[in-house]
Amino acid sequence: MTVEMDPEVAAAMAPIAEAAAAQTPPPAGDWKTRRAAVDELIGAATGGWTPPADVTVTEHAATAEDGTSIGMQLYRRDGDQPGSLAVYIHGGGMFLCSIDTHDPVCRAYTHLSGVPLLSVDFRFAPEHPYPTSVEDVYAALRWAADHAAELGVDPARLAIMGDSAGGGMAAAVALMARDRRGPALASQILVYPMLDDRTTTPDPEIEPFAMWSTDDNITGWGCLLGDTAGGPDVPTYAAPARERELSGLPPAFIDVGQLDIFRDEDVDYAARLQRAGVAVELQLYPGVPHAFEVFAPDAAVSRRAMAARVRALQSL
C-alpha cells in the first residue's frame, strides 16, 4: 500500500517540493549548505505568520558550566500569571536554526496556551559539539528553577519542551534532571523529537516526502558527535533513545508524523517510557512529514497538532 501525503499539506508544500526537485541536494556531511538553506526556508515559512499582539518578550541570561552567558527569551501573554513555565528548545538538527527562526512558533504557543515559554539560545554543533548544547539547556532549566519566585512560577510546574533536535535535547535534559536530582519536571513535551543517532537507513516509503532526510540526519549527528555517531559509545544525553532505564521520568507528550523519518524511533521511545511506568500521550498524525505544521499551518491536521500541544502546555 502506497503512503500518500495529506492533501492540504501537500498543496501547501507543493512550491517547496517543486523547488527541491529542481536542485541537487547537498551530500551528507555538508552542514554549511544545509544551514544556509534551511534557515532561509524556515524563516520564509514563519515570516508570514501574524505575530499575536498580546505576547511580550523579555531578555534574560543563564550562566553555562564553562562561564559562558546563554541568552534566553521569555514569552509571556499579557496579564497572565499562570504559575507554570515551559523551557523551550528550538529544532535544527543540532547545527542550524535559532531562537530567531523559532520566535513566531514560541509566540504562537504562548498566545494560544497562556503558558510562558523560556526559549534558550544554546550553542550548537559543529562549532560546539556534544555536550555543549544540552549542558547549555540544562543551565537554562536550572536558572528557571532558581528564579521561579521572581518569575511568578511554581517550581513544581516546570516543563521542558522542544521540537525536532530540540525535542531530543528536551528528552535528554529530562534524563539529566532525573539523574542529577535537578529541578523536578512536571512534563516533557517532545514535538517530533530527534532521539536516535542510529537512524541512518532510508525508508523508501518516507524518503520521497521527507522534509528532514536521512542524509540530513547523518549530517546532524555527525556535527554533534563526529566519528562516534552510530558507534557503541554514544552517551544517552546525546541520543536519549540509547537510555535503557526510563523509569522515574516526568510524564511525556510526544507527537510525530507518519511521513517523518523520526516516526519509528519516537513511537518506540513512547512505548518504552510506558513500559517503564511513565505516563505517555502519543500523537501519530497520518500522511504528514517533519515540520508539517510550520509549512502548512492552516491544514486541519496542523490545527489538530497545535491544539494538542497547547493542551499539553495548559495541563501544567
**Interatomic CA distance for residues 70 and 110, integer angstroms:** 21
Nearest to residue 216, comparing CAs of 165, 263, 254, 267? 165
**Interatomic CA distance for residues 314 and 113, integer angstroms:** 6
Q: Which residue type, as a one-letter code, is found at position 305?
A: A
Sequence-separated (6 or more) residues with CB below 8 Å from residue 249: 174, 175, 178, 188, 273, 276, 278
**Domains of the chain, first to last:** 7-314 (3.40.50.1820)
Grid coordinates belonging to 256: 510525530
pLDDT of amino acid 1:
52
In degrees, to the nearest 5, what angle opens at C-alpha 232 toward C-alphas 183 and 214?
Answer: 85
pLDDT of amino acid 253:
99
What are the catalytic residues?
164, 260, 290
Alpha carbon 295 to chain centroid, angstroms: 16
Q: How many helices (H) and strands (E) does the chain have?
A: 10, 8
**Interatomic CA distance for residues 292 and 285, integer angstroms:** 10
**Interatomic CA distance for residues 58 and 31, integer angstroms:** 31
pLDDT under 50: residue ranges of the chain: none
Grid coordinates belonging to 254: 510526544
**Interatomic CA distance for residues 292 and 302, integer angstroms:** 7
Does residue 160 contact residue 141 with C-beta atoms inside 8 Å? Answer: yes
